[in-house]
A and B are shown apart, each in its own frame.
Chain A
Amino acid sequence: MLREEELKTFVDGTTRYFEVAAQQPASIGSPYLLEGEPAMHDYTGMINVSGKREGVVYFTAPRAMLTVLLMKMQESDFSHESMRDLVGEVANTISGNARRDFGHDFVISVPSVFAGEKPQINRPTGARAFVIPIHWRSHSAKLVVSLT
């Protein structure tokens, strides 16, 4: 069973990114359990976890949110590549936080990034996915944590 502090670490990693990168903290919405197929926005950054826990953690966000985020970061390049880089960065921050807190127990992969296409997600059998909506300004993204 996933522990609260583990879930918090992933959530904090995500909200912290917004706070540091855009000087505007994100808030988290009402968390719930994922039923059925994972919901994906336009861009997704994902890390694979193995070791004490197995599964995936990913951050998925709509293009509009990422565009505003890039603007707030004083970027002028809103290309497809920039968007990919950005969700990759968020995933990187999440993975850094997790390494800091559970370095001993977790083996965490380098982030992989998906855009548009349906990502290949190997969710472990028996693990339910927690969906934590991430609200920032008027936009919403999702953090999905699915670990045994």
Chain B
Amino acid sequence: MDTAQDTGTRRTVKLLIVDDSNIVRRRIERSQQFDDLEVVGTAANGIEALELARRTDPDLVTMDLTMPQMDGIECITQLVRLKPEVRILVISALADKATAVEAMERGANGFLNKPFTDRQLNEAIAELMY
């Protein structure tokens, strides 16, 4: 019987994970502990990320900065142009603060340093989800 009810429950947040490392992608996917978060795609570079973003219409994107083909800074710029309301969490091991600040200037909403703990990841996602 179809008794789908939207009232009272929060809409599922759609997450897109962008990182060139397979290990990091799986780590993020595995570590997030939200029932109302759905991973709609993972991308290994900026170009893939943009294509997936067009198709899956994510609410939240975790973004690496140093990636082949199209780096995170460029990807953030285009992503924000494509979907101004999307929230972007940069997850990077970059020690260079100037680039990190630039990522934020381009429209990222937050920055999480690699390596990160599960707790740090979940707190950061929660901050951006609600």
Direct contact of A and B (CB under 8 A): no
Please give the residue numbers on chain A whose beta carbons come within 8 Å of chain B beta carbons, in ascending order. none
Please give the residue numbers on chain B whose beta carbons come within 8 Å of chain A beta carbons, in ascending order. none
